[in-house]
Amino acid sequence: MVEHNKNIARRNLLFSIVVLFFLVSSGGQLLHQTAAQRQDPRNKTITQQYTSHGPIAVHNDTELAAVANSGTGEVNTPYIISGWNITSIYITRTKKHFRIENCWIKNQLGYGIYIESVATGTATIDNNTCDSNGKDGIIIYYSGFSTIVNNTCNNNEWHGIELRSSGYSTVANNTCKDNRYNGIIVDFSPWVLLTNNTFQNNGRSAISPFISKFSTICNNTFINDGLNDGLDFHRLSKEELLSYTVENNTANGLPLGYFENVTDSTINGTYGQINLINCRNVIIKNQNISNVKTGIALYYCQETQLINNTCHSNKFGISFHNSGSTTLINNTCSGNFGGINVDESDFTTLINNSCSNNGFGIYFWDSRSSISVNNTCNNNDGSGISFVKCFYSNLTNNVCNSNRGYGIYFDSFSGSSILTNNTCNENKEGNVYNPADTTTTNPTTSGTKTSSTPSSETDISSSSSPAFKYSILLIVFGFLISVKKRNYL
């Protein structure tokens, strides 16, 4: 009996030790979580300021009055919706003024706040948190003269804030961070004011405009973000770009340079991002730009020189569109998705540039009569130097080694080019892929062979061949450029 009691005591003691250990360990974790929750202002805000509420859907003024907390949103007692922890707020076809303020909105399946076809100047969205929504945090559609201020729109699956066909609106003092696509997208919405907003780590662009002439982008802060991703502005006409007012913005603590109609000048000073529009005979040199969408971007420029610049850890290091007679000398572009992107820009000259350890090294799209001499493009995930729809290209003494794509690649729509004394070794898909009427002189290669015509190793007609797969990747990239211009993305 005594031994039996001792066994029971031992088991109880062991059980108590296990329970105590669990309580100590998990209790510490719970204590840690509680402290973290106390430090997280979002959790504090939810528990102390917001009241849970079912989704709101409004289709007319009567329904708006029914869901409103109270009046005053100005102009003869407009309505106010305030203080809710809610999955979504949907308002359409109202004529009365209303204000949505101090709400926490999280709709994993769709939009946080959706406003469509309300009377001009009646919508105000103020001081809301739209976090982790399945689409946009806030979308304003066919509702001009709207006001969107002091909101936090983070971690949304599409965009932080979207304006479509909603001109003359004001978007101010908002924070757009870690959204999958754009911080703010402005489409078909002229004369929009974007001011004092903060953008950080958005997937595509901080601000993406399209057919939104005469808009103003001023006093905004970009952190690990940039004004455009190198493709956004490609779809815009010169006239639209010149209609924007862009001033007093910063990128990573440095001035964001936006230069229009500059001639015969050198860009002095240090910048966090540089954009040139319709400039001629401008020199950009000795810049070191990182962690923005595009380090240096040129649009509709002529005779620009880029010398001794370093652009790393961007989406594109250097990108230019419709900018002829551009010369790049001694630039270094590494750790970008794309090192140097040349789009519809004839008579480009690249000398002694280094574009290694990028997604792709140098990419020419629909550009004629380029000269590439003594450039180094090694260890890129795609090809070293690529040409799509390009003619009369001249490549001499370039080094393109150990790329996962080709060393030098021409698609079947390119031709009449000359390759002389280029070194292409140990590229995964092939050293030189050259199916068109391109002349190759004294190539230095080892490993995978150089090909000017499709063979069993580089048969572009085979869906399993490296040439076919890489061609598809380049076609897709080119398609994205053209699609961006047509506003499908």
Q: Is the dihedral of CA 268, 269, 270, 276 positive or negative?
A: negative
Cα(147)–Cα(162) distance, integer angstroms: 12
Q: Which two tokens stand for residue 206?
A: 């901080």
218 lies in a domain? Answer: yes
Percent above pLDDT 90 for the chain:
73
- N-terminal to C-terminal alpha carbon distance within the chain: 81
- Identify the pLDDT of residue 454: 34
Q: Residue 333: CA atoms inside 13 Å, Cβ hemisphere, count?
A: 35
DSSP 232: G
Cβ neighbours around 400 below 10 Å, total? 32
What percentage of the chain reaches a pLDDT higher than 70?
Answer: 78
Report pLDDT digits (tens) over 286-338.
Answer: 999 999 999 999 999 999 999 999 999 999 999 999 999 999 999 999 999 99
Q: Which residue would you say has higher pLDDT here, 442 or 489?
A: 442
The per-residue pLDDT for 420 is: 96
Instruction: With both helix axes pointing from N to C terminus, report the angle between 2-39 and 41-49 in degrees, rounded to the nearest 10.
Output: 90
Please report whether residue 220 resides in a domain. yes
Nearest-angstrom CA–CA distance, 141 and 117: 6
What are the backbone angles phi and psi of residue 437, rounded to the nearest 5°?
-85, 65
Asked whether residue 84 is assigned to any structural domain, the reply reads yes
Give domain status of residue 442, yes or no: no
Residue 130's beta-bridge partner residues?
105, 153
pLDDT the model gives residue 71: 75
Domain, as residue range, for 219: 48-225
DSSP 306-322: EES-EEESSSEEEEEES
Number of domain units in the chain: 1
70-79 per-position pLDDT tens digit: 876 578 778 9
288 within a domain of the structure (yes/no): no
> Looking at per-residue confidence, does 471 or 135 come out higher?
135
Domain annotation covers residue 130: yes
Q: Looking at 233-340, list the stretches that DSSP marks H as alpha helix, in order from N- to C-terminal side.
A: 238-243
- What phi, psi does 298 have (nearest 5°)? -120, 135
199: in domain: yes
Integer Cα distance of 409 and 467 in angstroms: 9
Q: Considering the domain boundaries, does residue 221 fall inside one? A: yes
User: Which residues, including other chains, have CB under 8 Å from residue 172's CB and lie 6 or more apart?
Assistant: 148, 149, 150, 193, 194, 195, 196, 197
User: What whole-number distance in Å separates Cα of residue 66 and Cα of residue 468?
Assistant: 61
Q: At 103, which CATH number? A: 2.160.20.10
